[in-house]
Amino acid sequence: MTYKELSSQIFNKKSYLCVGLDTDPHKLPPHLLKEPDPVFAFNQAIIDATADLAVAYKPNIAFYEAQGPRGWESLQRTLEYIPADCFTIADAKRGDIGNTSSLYARTFFDPDAAGLNFDSVTVAPYMGRDSVLPFLDYAGKWVILLALTSNSGSADFQRQRILTDSAREQELFEMVIKTAQTWAGPDKLMFVVGATQADELSRIRELAPDSFLLVPGVGAQGGSLAEVSRRGLTAAGGLLVNASRSILYASGGTDFADRARAEAQLLQTEMAEYLDAGVLAIK
């Protein structure tokens, strides 16, 4: 999906909601356990219940890998079931020396070589340029680079102050955002910024005015959709705001899909208000 197509989806659906498919087999409603692939049955129902409200789906790969080969099959079925008008994100947080990164890229981007066919993958920037470039080699695919994450541990490295070449102070995540934009433009590269870090979003928007930001951390982690939207929305939309647990596990019973829809609807209704108000009006 191109930058323009993603932006159009946001304004057509009046939504920048990304539903996180962090599907934990231990949290499935009991009635699904008799299905041949309970994880897929759950995801299928969640996707059916939310596809008109969401512009993206983000399976977190850990939840599937932890199930061994069965999990990988559930992941593949889920990916194939996601409607074509939705952007897909493999939240895998990969990155290694170049030749190894090429194999990670193939895993998520190359169905002709036994890989999956995601639109994008999350990548950790810590190992630098040569660890990220192999993911950028795929036409039409996106890298979503971790910049300022939602967890408390983001303070350990990402918020550390370092000196620029011109002896000015900046935080490490700022350097990541500036440097990575010399590797690829906003048509191929997004950044992860936690919703719990909304205070930093205005500064991040100055550094990356046109980039899409994947923003996890509303819902279960307590980030504010209003603050994220106020500081992060752009004329192209520019945001994908993810919620996983608050949608998936709104109910553990037979009504789980209806309750998931209701949670997604709350977020989408609020997003539509911000989009309708116009970016400049809410800033």
* Separation CA 109–CA 142 (nearest Å): 9
User: Which CB, 82 or 192, lies closer to ligand LLZGTKA7?
Assistant: 192
Q: Looking at 7, 13, 20, 158, which residue binds ligand LLZGTKA7 (CB under 6 A)? A: 20
Is residue 120 near ligand LLZGTKA7 by the rule CB under 6 A? no
Query: Which of 134, 123, 52, 60 is closest to 86 using CA atoms?
Result: 52
Least distance to ligand LLZGTKA7, CB of residue 244, Å: 3
Q: Identify the active-site residue in 4, 93, 178, 188.
A: 93
Task: Characterize 59-79 residue by residue with b for buried, 16 or more Cβ atoms within 10 angstroms of its Cβ, and e for exposed.
Answer: bbbebbeebeeebeebbbebb
Site for ligand LLZGTKA7 in 47-86 (CB under 6 A): 60
**Bridge partners of 216?**
242
From the list 79-87, 124-132, 236-244, 258-266, the region that binds ligand LLZGTKA7 by CB under 6 A is 236-244
Residues 6+ apart with CB under 8 A from 43: 21, 23, 59, 74, 77, 78, 81
- The two structure tokens encoding residue 203: 């500064």
220 binds ligand LLZGTKA7 (CB under 6 A): yes
DSSP, collapsed to helix, strand or coil, labels residue 95 as coil
150 makes contact with ligand LLZGTKA7 (CB under 6 A): yes
Question: 93-120 burial, b if ≥16 CB within 10 A, otherwise e?
Answer: bbbbeeeebbebbbbbbbeeeebbebbb
Minimal distance, residue 194 CB to ligand LLZGTKA7, in Å: 4
**Residues in 193-212 at the binding interface with ligand LLZGTKA7, rule: CB under 6 A:** 194
Distance CA 180, CA 200 (A): 18
Query: Which of 125, 134, 219, 238 touches ligand LLZGTKA7 by CB under 6 A?
Result: 219
Q: What is the dihedral of CA 88, 94, 96, 100, to 10 degrees?
A: -50
Interface with ligand LLZGTKA7 includes 244 (CB under 6 A)?
A: yes
Kindly report the number of other CB atoms within 10 A of residue 164's CB atom.
Answer: 11
Q: Is 178 a catalytic residue?
A: no
149 touching ligand LLZGTKA7, by CB under 6 A: yes
Cβ proximity to ligand LLZGTKA7, 136 vs 148, nearer residue: 148
- Give yes or no for residue 22 binding ligand LLZGTKA7 (CB under 6 A): yes
Q: Is 93 left (phi over 0), alpha (psi -120 to 50) or beta?
A: left
Binding site for ligand LLZGTKA7 (CB under 6 A): 20, 22, 60, 91, 149-150, 192, 194, 216-217, 219-221, 242-245
Catalytic residue IDs: 93
